[in-house]
Amino acid sequence: MQDNTNQQFNEAVNSCREIFIKKTKDYGTSWRVYRTISVADQIYIKGKRLRTVQEKGEQKISDDLLNEFNGIVNYAVIGLIQLTINNDEPEDLPVDIAEKMYDEKIVTAKLLMIDKNHDYGEAWREMSQESFTDLILAKVLRIRQIISNDGNTIISEGIEANFYDIINYGLFALILAKQ
């Protein structure tokens, strides 16, 4: 693993985390009403926008496209948090609890990234933004299919693994965009 991968990962996470915390302070944990399919659809919307702009080569809305990757990472973390919280728990979580849950999911994502970087030799560093977008969209479609199969898989990874991959693909896109 490259010496600066941990630092780059942490910087990308910090930019996403800062947005997550500020939005949680602004809106509370209104995302608690989302079911898994709704979280997947939020990620899909952001991925679809990225792909559309990438294919057309122009954008009509002037906000920074990299913000879509921030949103993708944060929605994937929200998806993971939702999978671990019982539906009967309160919708309004204190900011510090939401922040703690966010950090727990990111720690797991980072450990996964370290293991995969070991096995794959940081192949993501040679990939394009378009590939990250496509991989994220594919993971969303997998989540949708697993949901339509009542959460069951025969041989494949489940919803949680797909959310973790989405987090890492989004962070990789953010890291490479800053180089």
User: What pLDDT was estimated at residue 2?
Assistant: 65
Look-up of token digits 């919280």: 85
pLDDT tens track for 112-153: 999 999 999 999 999 999 999 999 999 999 999 999 999 999
Residue span of the structural domain in which 115 resides:
5-177
CA–CA distance, 137 with 160 (Å, rounded to integer): 15
pTM summary value: 0.96
User: What pLDDT was estimated at residue 91?
Assistant: 83
CA–CA distance, 118 with 170 (Å, rounded to integer): 19
Low-confidence ranges of the chain (pLDDT < 70): 1-3
Structurally, the chain folds into a number of domains equal to 1
